[in-house]
Amino acid sequence: MDYRQKSFARELTPEQQSLKLQKDKEFEEASQALSQPYYFKKHNTGVTATETTKYEAAHNKLWNDYCLMAVAEGLMEELTPEKVLGQREKSLASEIEAVNTARTALGLKPIKIVEV
Q: SS3 letters for 25-71?
A: HHHHHHHHHHHHHHHHHHHHCCCCHHHHHHHHHHHHHHHHHHHHHHH
In this model, does residue 2 exceed pLDDT 90? no
pTM exceeds 0.85? no
| Ramachandran sector of residue 74 (left: φ over 0; alpha: ψ -120 to 50; beta: rest) | left
pLDDT at residue 1 greater than cutoff 80: no
Q: Give residue 92's pLDDT.
A: 95
Segment 14-22 long-range contacts (CB within 8 Å, at least 24 positions apart):
16/73, 16/74, 16/75, 19/73, 19/75, 20/70, 20/75
What would the pLDDT profile of 28-55 be if each residue is shown by its tens digit? 999 999 999 999 999 999 999 999 999 9
Q: Which of 4, 8, 16, 9 is nearest to 87 (CA)?
A: 4
pLDDT tens per residue across span 57-93 = 999 999 999 999 999 999 999 889 998 899 899 999 9
Inter-residue contact 75 to 20 (CB < 8 Å): yes
- Angle ∠(3,15,4) on CA atoms, nearest 5: 10
Mean pLDDT of 83-110: 94
